[in-house]
Structure 1
């Protein structure tokens, strides 16, 4: 199933949330709707894209009102295998000095004109991980600032590594807001120019690795 999407280079679209289906809690508002519409438009126009987001097993929350009208929040748990297929690749990211393993699920988003676009759902709920790390990809916008930073490490750094492990050839990266900004750090690690070139005052755009990256 994945083979049909890796034969040509694609634009990698990173977003913390993407509206895939009404009953899949991978989005909470306008950002996710925008991302979903963007991928659907790409499918209709047959543009080569691949989207990367988190699996959000527990979604945002399901709302209940008590007798006094107060809000009670319930996690909206679901199993990703109801709509996506497991991928065999696993990668690891460093969080707080330990390796956190990340797997992926493939969701195929279908456009109105029968076009198809792959969406990679990143998942840390693996036996290899500690219990707290298994929950990193559970809640959409849940937890404290530390939890959010862990999610952004998985999305940005882990997302790039997952695409590489799956065999995708990326021609350009698009960040839907700043949640995946750490992917730029991963790109710098891969295409960094030598410190001696910086000290000599050479423009980074004159260095082959950086020039190649900028021209993609």
Structure 2
């Protein structure tokens, strides 16, 4: 592997935080599309920002930081198999991603994010799942009010503050994160959907 290798570049080019080592190894094992690696880095980076903000603002919030970050770093891993869903619509990658992670030894509690990142209305969905879903939207400045409302309600329960007050904090934070969308979109677009093979 050389630094000219498209997957290597997607994993290591300057920009968003690097993926966790175990995720980068998995993507190499799967010979994942470079665009997928770039996308996962971006969503993971945004999830890091959100988790850091939550830890500062809500120190009593029960939150599995590592689960959120792993979930963000792997949420679309099923697109390594269903590559057409990298540039077009589709949800087959969701369950395929969960199964792929399980087959590579990921614990079910962590593999679930690949299947739940687009299913925030499921009963008993956890805050960690909601945060992965938010990161997967806000990286490109897509706002989903019903998803954000679920997060706001969870935060209001913990803080004891009014829902409207929590909404203002969440809205300000997501607006600030969303402001970086153009740079993130450019980073993702700089990496090919498929790597040219010699």
Q: Give the structure-2-normalised TM-score.
A: 0.29
Quick check: which one's strand share is greater? 1
Q: Give the structure-1-normalised TM-score.
A: 0.27
Pair member with larger Rg: 1
